[in-house]
Amino acid sequence: MPRRVKWGVIGSGGIARRRTIPEGIAAASNAVLAAVFDVDTEANRAVAAEFGGTAATSVADLLRTDVDAVYIATPAHLHYEQMLASAHAGKHILCEKPLGMTVAEAEQMAEAARAAGVQFGAGFMMRFHSRHQAARKLINQGRLGKLVYGRAQLSCWYPPIPGAWRQDLALGGGGSLIDMGGHCVDLLEMFFGPVGRVSCFTRNLVQGYPGEDSAVALLEFLSGALGTVDTFFCITDRGSRNALELHGSLGSILAEGTIGQGSSGKMTAILAQHDSGYDAGQAREGPGGIDISPEPVNMYRAEIEAFSQAVLEGRPPEVDATAGLRSQRVLTACYESARTGRAVEVL
Ligand X SMILES: NC(=O)c1ccc[n+]([C@@H]2O[C@H](COP(=O)([O-])OP(=O)(O)OC[C@H]3O[C@@H](n4cnc5c(N)ncnc54)[C@H](O)[C@@H]3O)[C@@H](O)[C@H]2O)c1
Which range in 38-46, 86-94, 202-210, 334-342 contacts ligand X by CB under 6 A? 38-46
Q: Does 11 bind ligand X (CB under 6 A)?
A: yes
Query: Of these, 77, 97, 131, 132, which contacts ligand X (CB under 6 A)?
Result: 97
Which range in 70-78, 149-157, 289-297, 328-336 contacts ligand X by CB under 6 A? 70-78
Helix axes 182-192, 321-340, angle to 10 degrees: 110
Q: Does 43 bind ligand X (CB under 6 A)?
A: yes
Count of other CB atoms within 10 angstroms of residue 108: 16
Query: Of these, 6, 7, 8, 10, which contacts ligand X (CB under 6 A)?
Result: 10
Contacts of 282 (CB under 8 A, 6+ apart): none
State whether the Cα torsion 297-298-300-305 is positive or negative. negative
Q: Does 135 bind ligand X (CB under 6 A)?
A: no
Q: Does 75 bind ligand X (CB under 6 A)?
A: yes
Of 247, 244, 96, 236, the closest CA to residue 184 belongs to 244
Minimum separation from the CB atom of position 98 to ligand X (A)? 7
Q: Does 56 bind ligand X (CB under 6 A)?
A: no
User: Whose Cβ is closer to ligand X: residue 101's or residue 292's?
Assistant: 101
Q: Pattern of binders to ligand X over 283-322, x per CB under 6 A?
A: ----------------------------------------
41 SS3 class: helix
Which CA distances in Å does 187 have to 47, 56, 84, 138, 192? 31, 35, 27, 15, 9
Q: Does 78 bind ligand X (CB under 6 A)?
A: yes
Q: Does 181 bind ligand X (CB under 6 A)?
A: no
- Please name every residue paired with 232 in a beta bridge, in sequence order, or none if there are none: 214
Q: Does 225 bind ligand X (CB under 6 A)?
A: no
HSE value, Cβ hemisphere, 13 Å, CA-based, for 292: 23
Q: Does 38 bind ligand X (CB under 6 A)?
A: yes
Tell me how many residues contact ligand X (CB under 6 A).
Answer: 22
Q: How far apart are CA 297 and CA 50, in angstroms?
A: 24
Minimum separation from the CB atom of position 21 to ligand X (A)? 11
User: Whose Cβ is closer to ligand X: residue 100's or residue 248's?
Assistant: 100
Minimum separation from the CB atom of position 289 to ligand X (A)? 29
Q: What does the DSSP 8-state code read for residue 152?
A: E
**Phi-psi label, residue 159: left if phi above 0, alpha if psi -120 to 50, beta otherwise:** beta
The site for ligand X (CB under 6 A) is made up of 10-11, 13-15, 19, 37-40, 43, 73-76, 78, 96-97, 123, 125, 165, 261
